[in-house]
């Protein structure tokens, strides 16, 4: 059964020809009903979501699927999720940590909506995580700007919160020889973020199994309280299989 459809504008790309995984996951997650037993949503990505194309959301048993025609792009399901994020650094300390973002020296996807170094203020989120302590915590400062307004209210669309929880995980472990792509993200949101809020995004490495890497991330509001967190699975893929220009 069709639940509706949406398009991913080119602005919200990750790789240059497909949507940012976290942003697309957030758009899809809104179609999933959550409850106290399953308060989070897991989104598994099977294929790159194309840009500027109508993508259909369909209800399928206990999950919803995102389709480009007959091709399954992603599947979203309500799940339990309990994480204990490390305490975040201050906003000023997160700003300082961002200066060591390794993407400033070399970035696989410099045009990425979330972490792309080619994006200017008012175009991308410009979340640049760098090492925040010696225990493996990474952090970045983030102040959402007016370009993210989607209506009269100051609260951000939840898809932007999912996006903010996405890319920082990919930079919480050393760069691998291949290209890292998001395979799955499970996120739980506790509150909202408003335009102009000085936020801190943190990320940390959990484990790896061959080409699979597991990370955690958290978004903290102006008062330091956790607004949401995520657990992500990243997959190493052949660089030649991913468009980079």
Tell me if 198 sits within 8 A of 91, measured CB to CB. yes
Q: Note the pLDDT of residue 141.
A: 98
Q: Is the pTM of this model over 0.95?
A: yes
User: Which residues partner with 76 through β-bridges?
Assistant: 43, 64
The CA distance from 100 to 129, in Å, is 8
For residue 241, pLDDT beyond 90: no
Residues 35-65 have pLDDT tens digits of: 989 999 999 999 999 999 999 999 988 899 9
Ordered domains of the chain (ranges, CATH)? 2-79 (3.10.129.10), 91-241 (3.10.129.10)
What would the pLDDT profile of 127-167 be if each residue is shown by its tens digit?
999 999 989 999 999 999 999 999 999 999 999 999 999 99
Higher pLDDT pick, 178 / 155? 155
């Amino acid at each position: 059964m069709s639940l509706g459809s949406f398009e991913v504008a080119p602005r919200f790309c990750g790789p240059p020809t497909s949507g940012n995984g976290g942003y697309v996951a957030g758009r899809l997650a809104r179609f999933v009903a959550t409850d106290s037993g399953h308060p989070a949503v897991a989104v598994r990505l099977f294929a790159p979501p194309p840009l500027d194309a109508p993508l259909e959301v369909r209800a399928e048993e206990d999950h919803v699927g995102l389709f480009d025609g007959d091709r399954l792009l992603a599947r979203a399901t309500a799940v339990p999720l309990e994480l204990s994020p490390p305490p975040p650094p201050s906003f000023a300390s997160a700003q300082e940590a961002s200066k060591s973002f390794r993407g400033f020296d070399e970035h696989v996807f410099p045009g990425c909506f979330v972490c792309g170094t080619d994006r200017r203020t008012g175009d991308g989120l410009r979340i640049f995580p760098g090492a925040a302590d010696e225990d493996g915590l990474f952090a970045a400062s983030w102040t959402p700007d007016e370009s993210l307004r989607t209506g009269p209210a100051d609260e951000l669309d939840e898809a932007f919160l999912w996006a903010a929880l996405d890319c920082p995980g990919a930079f919480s472990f050393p760069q691998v020889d291949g290209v890292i792509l998001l395979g799955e993200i499970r996120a739980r949101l506790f509150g909202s973020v408003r335009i102009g809020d000085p936020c801190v995004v943190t990320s940390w490495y959990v484990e790896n199994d061959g080409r699979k890497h597991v990370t955690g991330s958290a978004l903290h509001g102006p008062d330091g309280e956790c607004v949401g967190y995520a657990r992500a699975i990243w997959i190493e893929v052949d660089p030649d299989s991913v468009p980079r220009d």
